[in-house]
């Protein structure tokens, strides 16, 4: 019996070798195709055509831009009409965004824009700082060159630099947590610009430390950057709420 098996395997060896080579070629072609601009463009088109993904992307963007007043209902029918979709994908998208902390379920049913609370805002900035500090620890332990990650990059915002920093740590779970908390803080961006007139100077000073590559001074600057926002949490909320009371540009008086 073993003699028969050995003869079979011996005769199949050329076929197996050819099969493995061809499989390797196909895998390589698939990886190349998945990373090609044409494939990404096609995937993006497919994503935009999917009603759920369309609703998810648009409502997430509006929530991050602060288009929904805190505590106010997000009406499924209104969103569906605005996007030209049925109510089902909109309802599913809103339920998904509840999991991301960008939308809340109303006590009596339906959905609300999240209510702002100073303690929650402070905790969110503190958690983002924790993600950043942990990433710096990982980068320091592994001896990675953070400055090299920024080589050739231009026009980066503060958010871009923090994104690169946490991504450079190579911990996907950490990056996912950082990305999620970043979305929850995004609606405060315009309030930050109003409250901190020196925002550009602050970002420039931190950017120089990023490019310098020395981690201890960068850590101190990022702690100060986040502490400033934690201390100003009540004022950020007031400014954010005031934005919703101002008439839209171009509106009549």
Question: What residues make up the domain containing 191?
Answer: 118-241
Which of 172, 174, 169, 175 minimizes the C-alpha distance to 142?
Answer: 169
Do 143 and 53 share a structural domain? no
Helix (H, G, I), strand (E, B) or coil at 218: helix
Q: Where are the beta strands (DSSP E) in the chain?
A: 104-105, 111-112
Which of 113, 65, 106, 57 minimizes the C-alpha distance to 243?
Answer: 65
Q: Give the total number of structural domains in the chain.
A: 2
Res 227: pLDDT: 97
Do 153 and 233 share a structural domain? yes
Domain assignment of residue 198, yes or no? yes
pLDDT per position as a tens digit, 189-236: 999 999 999 999 999 999 889 888 788 999 999 999 999 999 999 999
Do 125 and 75 share a structural domain? no
Domain assignment of residue 252, yes or no? no
Do 236 and 154 share a structural domain? yes
Name the band, by pLDDT with cuts 50, 70 and 90, for residue 119: very high
Q: Is the pTM of this model over 0.85?
A: no
Residue 157 has pLDDT above 60, yes or no: yes
Mean pLDDT for 131-143 is: 92
> Where does a domain end: 112, 133, 160?
112
CATH of the domain at 84: 1.10.10.10
Instruction: Label each residue of 48-91 as H, E or C.
Output: HHCHHHHHHHHHHHHHHCCCCCCCCECCHHHHHHHHCCCHHHHH
Name the band, by pLDDT with cuts 50, 70 and 90, for residue 152: low
Do 203 and 130 share a structural domain? yes
Do 190 and 161 share a structural domain? yes
């Amino acid at each position: 019996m073993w003699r028969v098996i050995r003869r079979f395997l011996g005769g199949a060896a050329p076929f197996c070798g050819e099969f493995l080579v061809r499989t390797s070629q196909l895998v390589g072609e698939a990886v190349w195709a998945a990373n090609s601009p044409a494939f990404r463009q096609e995937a993006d088109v497919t994503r935009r055509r999917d009603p759920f993904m369309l609703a998810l992307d648009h409502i997430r963007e509006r929530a991050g831009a602060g288009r929904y007043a805190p505590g106010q209902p997000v009406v499924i029918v209104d969103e569906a009409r605005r996007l030209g979709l049925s109510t089902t994908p909109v309802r599913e998208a809103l339920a998904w965004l509840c999991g991301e902390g960008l939308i809340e379920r109303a006590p009596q049913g339906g959905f609300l824009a999240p209510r702002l609370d100073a303690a929650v805002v402070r905790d969110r900035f503190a958690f983002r700082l924790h993600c950043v500090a942990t990433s710096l620890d990982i980068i320091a332990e592994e001896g990675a060159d953070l400055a090299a990650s920024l080589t050739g990059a231009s026009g980066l915002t503060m958010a871009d630099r923090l994104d690169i920093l946490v991504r450079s740590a190579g911990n996907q779970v950490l990056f996912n947590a950082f990305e999620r908390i970043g979305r929850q803080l995004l609606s405060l961006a315009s309030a930050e610009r109003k409250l901190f007139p020196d925002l550009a100077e602050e970002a420039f000073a931190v950017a120089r430390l990023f490019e310098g590559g020395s981690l201890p001074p960068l850590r101190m600057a990022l702690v100060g950057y986040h502490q400033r926002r934690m201390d100003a949490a009540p004022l950020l909320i007031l400014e954010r709420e005031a934005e919703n009371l101002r008439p839209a540009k171009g509106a009549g008086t």
